[in-house]
Amino acid sequence: MTELERALVALGNELDFPEAPDLWPGVAGRLQRRRRLRPLVVAIALAALAVGVAFAVPPARSAILKFFHVGSVSVERVQTLPPARTQPFATGLGPPRTSPTLKLPAGLRATRYYKGPGMAAALLRYRGRQLLYARLTGDQMGFAKKFVGPTTHVEEVRLGEWGIWFDGGTHVLQWEFGSVQTRLAGNVLLWLDQGVTFRLEGPLDKVRMLALARQITR
């Protein structure tokens, strides 16, 4: 490298570059804009239908559009997600159990099991990915809570009595078993079948997640 080239490198090191902004929120918003419009309308309509009776009083109507529940899991759409970070799937589920806490379909392997009041869960290996499968009994709302941001894609799916698929922008999950534990969550399938709430989370696309869910609750 010549002296002039070294001088150019030195000049580059001292240039006043503006700080790079976080581009992801803008990028994510644009990626999701078209995808989320229709399913969101469906989800909001279903949400309104599902909780409409409970919230029939006029002052509560505005809340219906922002809040619904699938079995034991409450879902709230918010403009800004509460603070949370990526944590292991099992965060908040208590210590792992050595013996099975729920029944798995043939061919599915669990690496850990968890149990709490009204909750049984397992960490699964499925198609080389780690997934969290949880089964929630009881119908109390707020057993687990999801905060869904503007970039989260929310879509109704045909599964059990009612199923909802979440992907796109991350959302925030709060388990409320004893102490409240909050973490970021990715792709999630949530469905209600015969009074039991089922939840699958992990890096699978919708088609694969639905296939697995149908194995679980067929």
Work out how close the CB of 109 gets to other proteins at its nearest, in angstroms, rounded to a whole number.
16
Please pick, from the candidates 68, 89, 126, 162, the single residue that binds other proteins as defined by CB under 8 A. Answer: 89
Work out how close the CB of 90 gets to other proteins at its nearest, in angstroms, rounded to a whole number.
9
CA-closest candidate to residue 167, choices 207, 139, 123, 125:
207
Total residues at interface with other proteins (CB under 8 A): 41
Q: Point out which span in 28-36, 42-50, 65-73, 154-162 binds other proteins (CB under 8 A).
A: 28-36
- Establish if 38 lies at the interface with other proteins (CB under 8 A): no
Q: Strand 73-77 relative to strand 144-148: parallel, antiparallel, unpaired?
A: parallel
Q: Vertex 22, ends 21 and 24: CA angle to 5°?
A: 140
Which residue(s) pair with 119 in the sheet? 116, 136
d(CA 179, CA 187): 24
Our CB check for other proteins shows the closer of 9 and 45 to be: 9
Work out how close the CB of 27 gets to other proteins at its nearest, in angstroms, rounded to a whole number.
5
Our CB check for other proteins shows the closer of 161 and 205 to be: 205
Please pick, from the candidates 72, 74, 101, 170, the single residue that binds other proteins as defined by CB under 8 A. Answer: 170
What backbone torsions phi and psi does residue 171 show, to the nearest 5 degrees? -125, 175
- Establish if 13 lies at the interface with other proteins (CB under 8 A): yes
Work out how close the CB of 10 gets to other proteins at its nearest, in angstroms, rounded to a whole number.
4
Work out how close the CB of 29 gets to other proteins at its nearest, in angstroms, rounded to a whole number.
10
Work out how close the CB of 30 gets to other proteins at its nearest, in angstroms, rounded to a whole number.
5
Please pick, from the candidates 46, 94, 130, 141, the single residue that binds other proteins as defined by CB under 8 A. Answer: 130
- Establish if 6 lies at the interface with other proteins (CB under 8 A): yes
Residues of the shown chain interacting with other proteins in the complex, contacts defined by CB under 8 A: 2-18, 20-24, 26-28, 30-32, 86-89, 130, 167-170, 186-187, 203, 205
